[in-house]
Structure 1
Amino acid sequence: MDIHHLLRMANQIGTFFEAMPARDQALQEVAQHLRKFWEPRMRRELLAHLDAGGAGLLPIVAEALCAHRALVEPPATAGSH
């Protein structure tokens, strides 16, 4: 999947939840949305991009991924070590 497309979608999610008055809750909502609606491959690619510096991610998205990585990170697949 094109990382620019993933960044655009992730940033749209971040923009939506950034309006919430409670920052901690907004960060959790971003992470929960990604977990619920993004397939594992998409989440893995987004996290890999974050680990490579996260260029293009809105601060709220990067912060949500860092704060709630365990929630967003897909479980290890069988055969991956």
Structure 2
Amino acid sequence: MDNQNLVDMANRIGDFFDSMPDREEALAGVAEHIRRFWEPRMRRALLATLDAPDTSGIAMSDFVRQALVSHRAQLTPAEPSTV
């Protein structure tokens, strides 16, 4: 999975919601959009990129970073079953 592409997509989502006047509603909007429309492996990869100490030039916007951190619990998919 291309982490740069995931971050670029998240940044574009963030650009849309960042124009909203209510900051908390905008942050929740980013997280809700990603939760509803991104499959679990995409969300896992995005959160792993957020946690990575060296993102090697991957530029996640501060707004998206804040949305991911503040809504991490709802964005974290359940672990896949090993049945």
TM-score after normalising by structure 2: 0.89
- Could you list the runs of 5+ residues in structure 2 that have no partner in the other structure? none
When the two chains are superposed, the root-mean-square deviation of aligned CA atoms in Å is: 1.1
- Could you list the runs of 5+ residues in structure 1 that have no partner in the other structure? none
Q: Which of these residues, 44, 68, 73, is aligned with residue 71 of structure 2?
A: 68
Structural mapping, 1:10-21, within 5 Å: 10-21=10-21
Structural mapping, 1:1-81, within 5 Å: 1-53=1-53, 55-79=58-82
TM-score after normalising by structure 1: 0.92
1:7-47 alpha-carbon deviations (Å, 9 max, x no partner): 11000000000000011010000000000000000000000
Structure 1 segments, 4+ long, off by >6 Å, are: none
Count the aligned residue pairs.
79
User: By how many angstroms is 1:77 displaced?
Assistant: 1.4
User: By how many angstroms is 1:57 displaced?
Assistant: 0.6
